[in-house]
Structure 1
């Protein structure tokens, strides 16, 4: 027991000596060097930030024709409500709902028998009036003969003359009534007034229809399809722009020239339907501050239908050189538009730009850029003003550096 206690005490002593030696060695290696009696101090070096990786491209410059875009709707050139012109019972419907009809096609038949009786009656009345005219002519001739021989007075002759004139007037009235009855009989056959697509029948066979008045029964309607109108509204500012261009001689007014237009439908990505302007209204609407414009399109396949919405592009300029940039490279800050441009020291610079319309998928830049500017097109979220960038050019389809890629 005594020997064990002594051994433990010796071990503790050896461990203490070892710990002291380790502390002394650490102090030796961490102690500052004495350089001429002055302590040397060291400060950690600050590493420079790594350049931001971006992709750049130069704007595309070429001659373009600018187009302004408007939202509008197709309208039929001719839209006709087919109404009964005479009263009677509807006897027959001679078309299929929604079919294409030609001008003059028979659409409905109204029971003609009552009007046939009226024609017969007016014919008899006209014949009676004709016979009275013949009698009055005979009596006038007789009165003239007797007057010349002094057997009747002049007043008798005048009475016979007045009777003849009244009979002739009655004959004319009877003839007019007969013509009206014949017209009414013709109106029992209802024909298509225009060529186009017909709607459904609004009245079924056997119903009594009313005609010959403002409240005449509506039977159906027809809209023409080829050609077809497209109507839209332009703002007061746009109207003034076109007027200024016309006065300067750089673009003719759509009132005087059939300026070209293009339309795309809601399910289309390109403007495949070509047309021309054919009307501009004579006033700006006081309520909306817009003016109505209208274009006309050929529609041989009847794809364009009255009521369809579409987007119209109206030519807004003659061909001129323009700077084009993809929209993704353009940023917005409180209403102003800007891009990031890389300068000769590989640092970014914020450049405010003025924009125009989109042409062939690229945005027109009216001011703020030149053809030789290197514009950041990818990596925009990491760019700040004056930041150092490591840039690479945007590649074309052939893998070579390219300017802003044009839409295809």
Structure 2
């Protein structure tokens, strides 16, 4: 009887243990199922579609539209300097004055010689007129009359010579005031008052004036860029002249200056395979200085509808660029894309690989796994605000 009771208790214990192990196993599976992580939350948005224009960028230099070396046209000692180094001077403004006295004396002498030549001509004309009456009455010889006509002609020539000498003396006197031929910014004086300056062939450089109200931007364009401009202009490189272009100085991020492409050289440089080009920009505020380096961008083609996504939404996968999207089943997919240039506001043009209806992941890329589900949250793509200076 005792043996039977022990066996019964042993069986009951085994059954209880089995039931406990079974219940623990079910609880473990249920707990594991409950602890499985949910799909990650990602922010998705349709690409932004905007009209954009593609540009080619070049490096060049701002140059003045006119550079003038101010030189004297007569020799003498400087008596006046009528400008401050570096100031803006007007066209026709007298910058230097050379001692006028020798040239005033020369003018007075030339005018006196002109008066003498005028009197001599008047006498010769009267003498020739009298001889004409006398030769009719045979009171003088014909040869004498012809001699007096020749004397009149010589007096006329002498008077013209004297008139030219007066004009030259007046010019020399006028040239004692050395004037700026253009409006612009003057450099520093090269000669001080009291120094002798030499005119004409071996003339002294007194200063320089740069016209800077409008500036040229001079740059070199490759043969490939020239061909692109020709295609854009219908086959003629000259058709590119007149294109609206934009420029900026080194250190600027925006393109605040608009100008016009107004010149292409007449040949490519054989050594470099480039052609010289030039655009003109307004500089009324004087913000640009001749000689500064800068960048210019020239439009390539007409504006078109471009697909734009944040630059951060495009990843590198070895040598390829990819973007991640969420499909209709909320599964993360990866798309190979062909990126274009970066636009203002941190947006990138995507030329191939995305459509305007795709739900592009713009936030949460690190949590999204390709081929796995995700929980998309709607967002929007907007250009980033420009940093305030």
TM over 0.5: yes
For residues 181-218 of structure 1, what are the alpha-carbon distances to aligned partners after superposition, in whole Å with 9 as ceiling and x for unaligned?
A: 111111111122111111111111111101122x3111
* Per-residue deviation, residues 131-159 of structure 1 (Å, max 9, x unmatched): 22122212211221221111333222222
Q: What residue ranges of structure 1 are gaps of 5+ in the alignment?
A: 1-49
- In the alignment, is the contact (CA less than 8 A) between 1:339 and 1:375 conserved in 2? no
Conservation of the 8 A alpha-carbon contact between 1:263 and 1:312? yes
Pairs within 5 Å for 1:361-372: 361=345, 362-372=347-357
Matching of residue 276 in structure 1 with residue 271 in structure 2? no
- Partner of 1:300 in structure 2? 284
Which one of 236, 239, 242 corresponds to residue 253 of structure 1? 239
Separation in 2, partners of 1:282, 1:392: 62
CA distance in 1, matches of 2:312, 2:266: 40
Kindly tell me: are residues 185 and 366 of structure 1, through their superposed partners in 2, closer, same or farther at Cα, counting changes over 3 Å?
Answer: same
State yes or no: 1:318 paired with 2:305.
Answer: no
1:12-161 residue pairs with structure 2 within 5 A?
59-161=47-149
Tell whether 2:329 aligns with 1:351: no
Gaps of 5+ in 2: 1-37
CA gap of 1:151–1:330, structure 2 versus 1, over 3 A, is farther
Q: Which residue of 1 aligns with 2:178?
A: 190
Q: 1:389 to 1:356 in 2, by over 3 A?
A: same
Secondary structure of 2:336's counterpart equals: strand
For 2:375 and 2:90, how far apart are their aligned partners in 1?
Answer: 65
User: How far 1:350 moved relative to its partner?
Assistant: 6.2
Kept in 2, the 8 Å contact 1:56–1:392? The answer is: no
Distance in structure 2 (CA, Å) of the matches to 1:141 and 1:197: 62
Alpha-carbon separation, structure 2, partners of 1:327 and 1:248: 36
How many equivalent pairs are there? 345
Q: Which deviates the most, 111-120 or 265-274?
A: 265-274
TM-fit CA distance, 1:88:
0.5
Aligned to 2:156: 168
Q: Over aligned residue pairs, what C-alpha RMSD do you find?
A: 3.3
Report the TM-score, using the length of structure 2 for normalisation: 0.77
- Cα 1:196–1:328 change in 2 (3 A) is same
The verdict on how the C-alpha distance between 1:389 and 1:199 changes in structure 2, with shifts beyond 3 A counting, is farther
Residue 401 of structure 1 is aligned with which of 367, 371, 379? 379
TM-score by length of 1: 0.74
- Partner residue of 2:206? 219
Deviation at 1:244, TM superposition (A): 0.9
Q: Is the 8 A contact 1:343 1:374 kept in 2?
A: yes
Bigger Rg, which one? 1
Contact 1:52 1:389 in 2 (8 A): no
Change in Cα spacing, 1:278 to 1:172, as seen in structure 2 (3 Å) is same
Is the counterpart of residue 338 in structure 1 residue 312 in structure 2? no
